[in-house]
A and B are shown apart, each in its own frame.
Chain A
Amino acid sequence: MELIWLSIIIPVLTAGVIAISPSKHARNTAFAGSLLSLAALALFAWNFPAWKAGTYFPMTAGAHWVHGAGVSLSVGFDTVSLLLALLTAFLMPLCILGSFTAITDRVKEFYGWFLVLGSSILLAFAARDAILFYIGYEFTLVPMTLIVAIYGGTERRVAAIKMFLYTFLGSMFMLAALLYVGWEHRIASGAWNFDIDALTATAVRLPSATQYWLFAALMIGFAVKVPLFPLHTWLPLAHDQAPTAGSVILASALLKLGTYGNYRFALPMAPAGGAELMNVVAVLSIIAIIYASLICWVQTDAKKLIAYSSIAHLGLCMLGLFALNPMGAEGAVFYMVNHGLSTGALFLCIGMFYERYHTKDTDVLGGLAKRMPVWSCFMVFFTLASIGLPGLNGFVGEFLCLGGTFIAEHDANSGYPGVLGPWYAIVAGLGLIFAAMYLLILLGKIVWGPLREPHGDVSHGSHAAAPALPSDLGLREIAVLMPIAIACLWLGVQPKPMLDAISPCAQRMLVNYPAQVERVMAESIPVAPTPVITSMKTTLKVP
């Protein structure tokens, strides 16, 4: 408990220290602060009792904050949120280390706001109280907007404003839904209480029609953040304009708030709505996969390409989540972490060559394997992780998400019926092919091929803005990428501990679903299979 608060507060305190100390110490202070925060969280995770047992929110202490309103300052983790918080805390120092040479102006403000951003993400993951979650969730926008608007590219203001307004608008629906559930809870129990468990217990008892709208409202809020297909347009712009560290945290941690929100709020709170809308979300996710993949294919801006690939990858993650069976849910949670690692690393890689060449255009830059062999190794590695090569982390999540979708059929033997099935998986699976296409094309352009460097910049490494950079990666940059690479490899080879940790949480999230999905299927017009075949099949299927 104290360790959780420490890990949340240390970055903010560090930001305060940075504000009052001279700017030449800012980056080292920030790095130290983020490391401390990671250490606190890691220490907590080390002693976390629930890895095997899969306890749900084991920490119960928490002081009431706004007394009459039932808002409490209670924090705690289950394994899923702890994994995501660890991911965030793990990437923070790496991002800061990666920004050492990239940020030269307004250094103090950058690191200060960046640390505040980290804190608020951690708060959102750790919150046990819906309002506390909302505060963390919403407050991320402030530092993120500042980071994009001050340190971004040429269109940074538009990007920042669009990001802020778009996601803020979505969050309003979510807040309304949470307040509504709180109100229902007050009606039911006589007192305001925004404890997530209490809210969930109240919400699942609401009538189906109410749950439908509740789910829709929560879904809109989180879908913007994920982002799901028609609500995604803020993301490529924001990614394109954000500085490298901002992009990394945006892709790795901020977007995960959306999927995490689905896992924590939308799905468990409104099972009736979730069961009814699962095919809608699934179809949108599949559209996102195909649509974003195709767009990736014709991007010439490396960063935009990765941004669109994020949309496609998270589409697959959402698809797995909305398969509403343990296989899909495990895959989805696993995929959240994986995507954070591999996409974050890809953004870091792109940032590294951007620092050297000041372009992300794959038409003017290419064949860097000759010039930057070490960088190329990392780039190829992370691209392969992102493609989902077995043995690396991406595969496990991808495979389970697709598999979960595939088996989410009417008459699934897994005990978790669904309305998706092979056809959904086949169409979504095309995304696997497309992913290989666009990422290998990116590799073929910037890593392989004859060396192409921007005109007038052949004296690489002696560029005015980055005088200290060697032509290939330096030790500091290797130190940024190496931990992520190790994590990718480790999770690919040994996913079992993490799968075991996720498993009870995923099952707990889905506890109401088999019944609800069956209800929905019974209510819709049945596509009656002839009884003969059904009976034959049941006899055949049991080995």
Chain B
Amino acid sequence: MNGELSIPQVVIAPELAWVGLAILLPLLSAVVCAICGALRVKNKLPAIVTALALAISFVIIVQAYFAYSGPVQVPIFQWMTFQWGAGGPFHSFTANCSLYIDSLTLYWMLFVTGLGTLITIYASEYMEGDRGSGYSRFFFGISIFLFAMSALVLGDNLAMLYLGWEGVGLASYLLIGYNYDRPSAVAAAKKAFIMNRVGDLGLALGIFMLWANYGTIQYSELFAAMNSGGQSAVDWHISVIPFLLMLGAFGKSAQIPLFTWLPDAMEGPTPVSALIHAATMVTAGVYLIARLYPFFELHPEALATVAWIGCATALLAATIGMAQYDIKRVFAYSTISQLGYMFLGLGVGTTFGACYHTLTHAFFKALLFLTAGAIMHGFAGQLDLRKLSGLRHVAGWRIVSWTMFVGCLWLSAFPYTAAFFSKDAILLQALTSARADFRFLGWMGLFTAALTAYYTFRVWFRVCAGPVHFEAGSEGHHDHDDGHHAQDRRDAPGTHATFHPHAPRWAINGVLLILAIGALAVGLPAYKTVFMHEDNWAQQMIAHSSAYEGAGLADAHGHSDAPTPTMLGMDAHTGLTVVGSTASVGGILVAWFFHLRSRKSADQLRAALLRRWWLGWIPTAMEHKWYVDQIYHALFRLPMWIGAQILNFGDRHFLDGVLVDGIAKIPLALGRVFRPLYSGALQGYAVTMAGGVALVLAWASWVWLRGVH
């Protein structure tokens, strides 16, 4: 069907087995961390080992990038593999521990291992208060995460992907519940794992469906089947595949309807939020769809569904983010929102836009979370943006403030930042689409971009700008991240007069600076395209993988061949640049007005909204996250819980009590009937016996007499 767009042939390359070290090293460092935990090691050894392992992984991936010449499959060892009958497709199940390396894999692994290393270095300082108790456990979790994430990305089959998929879920569970004596953290961890399991079920069923239709779950064979024209939406079996896989992606990437776990996941230590719940793990859904992009074209509406869900999530999360006061929660909702953009991009047909946005987002969102973490670290867990102000004027906090500024600019897609180009690529594809509903989604995306700019700079103008004022966090709130501040906190009654914030040192500041530079650097490919008209590096990486931009929905190889689409009477590029810049700058200006220039007016506006009955519910609902948690509780959890109670009662008192014990009562009742015969009196038995003999005799005579006649 798409002969010219076929996925490159795969070469078996056992000699590249050293790339597997990228999976193995984090695992080894996890083992070391576990041993450190068992031995109660009190120094920074776990952090050093983890950082070292991840750095080497990164170097390996870089090495692999330079050695890369085309998609390869690297067999390592056989895992869940067996066959029956003659073997081959449909008569074997092959899920080996092997690698599939193409440009998409490398693209993903580069930023996963790179950011993993940086954030580990950051965490080595951030978590130092927990040395000897949770330090090893923390880095064990990080190592397990990197192991699973590498397996997810590098695996050559869907079972390996599933292994990584659940493995990152496990790491996320362990790390969200890091402060396990805090019930909210335990609940959040549980929620994250269970909601992810819902998605995982979809993914597992999708894998089975792929096997049932193609007889294999190895990428190379699946893509070969695709190349030979396996695309069709004739049968519901085949056309349902994308929807099942989609469910898995939505669970892991926190999209509607499975997004409510991500904000709660902020209970974990901030480096975890930055690495797992912003930069890498949550992009696994994007990776899945990009990796299996050809299969998402099996049903014409599958990608449209992805687009709609992505756009709706982006808008919904942005509205919630506008009304939150906890900095980390704002960033969490912004993550959901940005992930929504990525799905929108995938849905409207620009895998390049989605993947490029993933890359830029990974950098600036990790940066933002790490600055939030630094603030939290220094201000005894304070994260309420109403209680912090003017940090850029406080000594020792300039780097944090300005790197946060960079992050905020990127997040709000300020013109000519990297995120501006990546978001632009997505929105351009949507707005120039042939489908009216995609164009509508594009406009919704633009509107959301304005909201994003507003809530992002709401945080920055509140926290980093304005008059200097801060309050220390309460002991009970996030205080476990920095136990060594216990002394500080006890002294501090909660005003900045006596509270001395603890400014970050080299590891935190250094990582923040590197990330800020990285955020700038990931814009380079886009600048080259815009100013020097060179091919975009990211686009090259994506286009030569299985995530080639699909047939029918998008013009696949660059837009130069297609007739130039127009927008608002201008060339689409120019038009979008103008409109997008307006949205971004407009949002920033609104935030500036309400949250820096005249902070009172924000409260007045809010009060005015709340006074009007027909408007007042909107901010309330936004603050309460549109009551999604409550709705889920009422729709799913509560009925199931009631059902479970009924079943539990029924099992004990009906099934066991009435049926089983009832059957057991039949012999008992029979016994009652004959019981009087056993009186214990000798004569009684004798009479019974004689009567029995008499009966037998009577019966025998009757039979005999009948025989005579």
Residues of A at under 8 Å CB distance from B? Answer: 162, 165-166, 230, 233-234, 236-237, 291, 294-295, 297-299, 326-327, 330, 367, 369-370, 384, 389-391, 395-396, 399-400, 402-403, 406-407, 409, 412-415, 422, 425-426, 429-430, 432-433, 436-437, 440-441, 444, 447-451, 493-496, 499-500, 502-503, 506-507, 533, 536-537, 540-541, 543
Contacts of A503 in B (CB 8 A): 82-84
Report Cα–Cα, A1/B435, bound state, in Å.
Answer: 74
Report Cα–Cα, A413/B78, bound state, in Å.
Answer: 24
The answer to whether A444 and B190 have CB atoms under 8 Å apart is yes
B209 in the interface, Cβ–Cβ < 8 Å?
yes
Report Cα–Cα, A427/B612, bound state, in Å.
Answer: 47
The answer to whether A327 and B93 have CB atoms under 8 Å apart is yes
B41 in the interface, Cβ–Cβ < 8 Å?
no
Q: Would you mind naming 14 contact pairs between A and B with Cβ atoms under 8 Å apart?
A: A294-B640, A298-B644, A299-B648, A390-B159, A407-B208, A413-B212, A415-B90, A422-B237, A432-B197, A444-B190, A448-B189, A502-B82, A507-B84, A540-B229
The answer to whether B234 and A536 have CB atoms under 8 Å apart is yes
Known A-B contacts A390-B166, A441-B190; the reply to A433 vs B198 at CB < 8 A is yes
B641 in the interface, Cβ–Cβ < 8 Å?
yes
Known A-B contacts A437-B194, A540-B230; the reply to A450 vs B85 at CB < 8 A is no
Report Cα–Cα, A499/B211, bound state, in Å.
Answer: 18
Report Cα–Cα, A233/B651, bound state, in Å.
Answer: 7
Residue pairs across A and B with CB atoms within 8 Å: the count is 179
Instruction: Tell me the interface secondary structure of chain B in the complex.
Output: helix
A449 CB contact (under 8 Å) in B167, B183, B228: B183
A399 CB contact (under 8 Å) in B159, B173, B194: B159
The smallest C-beta distance from B441 to any residue of chain A, in angstroms, reads: 30
The answer to whether B205 and A369 have CB atoms under 8 Å apart is no
A499 CB contact (under 8 Å) in B81, B181, B224: B81
B204 CB contact (under 8 Å) in A162, A297, A327, A429: A429
Q: Which residue of B lies closest to A409 (CB)?
A: B212
The answer to whether A425 and B163 have CB atoms under 8 Å apart is no
Known A-B contacts A389-B167, A436-B197; the reply to A406 vs B212 at CB < 8 A is yes
Report Cα–Cα, A501/B183, bound state, in Å.
Answer: 46
Contacts of A437 in B (CB 8 A): 194
Q: Which residue of B lies closest to A329 (CB)?
A: B84
The smallest C-beta distance from A433 to any residue of chain B, in angstroms, reads: 5
Report Cα–Cα, A278/B179, bound state, in Å.
Answer: 48
Q: Which residue of A lies closest to B667 (CB)?
A: A165
Q: Which residue of B lies closest to A507 (CB)?
A: B84
The answer to whether A537 and B163 have CB atoms under 8 Å apart is no
Report Cα–Cα, A420/B549, bound state, in Å.
Answer: 37
The answer to whether A432 and B648 have CB atoms under 8 Å apart is no
The answer to whether A297 and B180 have CB atoms under 8 Å apart is no
Contacts of B80 in A (CB 8 A): 396, 399-400, 495-496, 499
B214 in the interface, Cβ–Cβ < 8 Å?
yes
Contacts of A390 in B (CB 8 A): 159, 162-163, 166-167
B444 in the interface, Cβ–Cβ < 8 Å?
no
List B residues 189-216 near A (Cβ within 8 Å). 189-190, 193-194, 197-198, 200-201, 204-205, 207-209, 211-216
The smallest C-beta distance from A511 to any residue of chain B, in angstroms, reads: 11
B235 in the interface, Cβ–Cβ < 8 Å?
yes
B221 in the interface, Cβ–Cβ < 8 Å?
yes
The smallest C-beta distance from B210 to any residue of chain A, in angstroms, reads: 11
Contacts of B84 in A (CB 8 A): 326, 414-415, 503, 506-507
Closest CB pairs A-B (n = 3) = A543-B225, A390-B163, A406-B208
Report Cα–Cα, A447/B177, bound state, in Å.
Answer: 11
The answer to whether A451 and B91 have CB atoms under 8 Å apart is no
11 more CB-based (< 8 A) A-B contacts, given A432-B197, A495-B79: A233-B656, A294-B644, A298-B644, A384-B170, A390-B166, A390-B167, A406-B208, A414-B91, A444-B189, A444-B190, A448-B177
The smallest C-beta distance from B295 to any residue of chain A, in angstroms, reads: 13
A537 CB contact (under 8 Å) in B159, B166, B234, B655: B234
Contacts of B208 in A (CB 8 A): 402-403, 406-407, 422, 425
Known A-B contacts A295-B647, A326-B84, A449-B183; the reply to A440 vs B190 at CB < 8 A is yes
List B residues 641-656 near A (Cβ within 8 Å). 641, 643-645, 647-648, 651, 655-656
The smallest C-beta distance from A304 to any residue of chain B, in angstroms, reads: 10
Report Cα–Cα, A327/B217, bound state, in Å.
Answer: 14
Q: Which residue of A lies closest to B147 (CB)?
A: A391
Report Cα–Cα, A165/B666, bound state, in Å.
Answer: 14
Contacts of A537 in B (CB 8 A): 234-235
The smallest C-beta distance from A348 to any residue of chain B, in angstroms, reads: 20
The answer to whether B660 and A233 have CB atoms under 8 Å apart is yes
Contact code string B664-695 (vs A, CB < 8 Å = 1, else 0):
10000000000000000000000000000000
Contacts of B228 in A (CB 8 A): 543
Contacts of B492 in A (CB 8 A): none
Report Cα–Cα, A162/B652, bound state, in Å.
Answer: 14
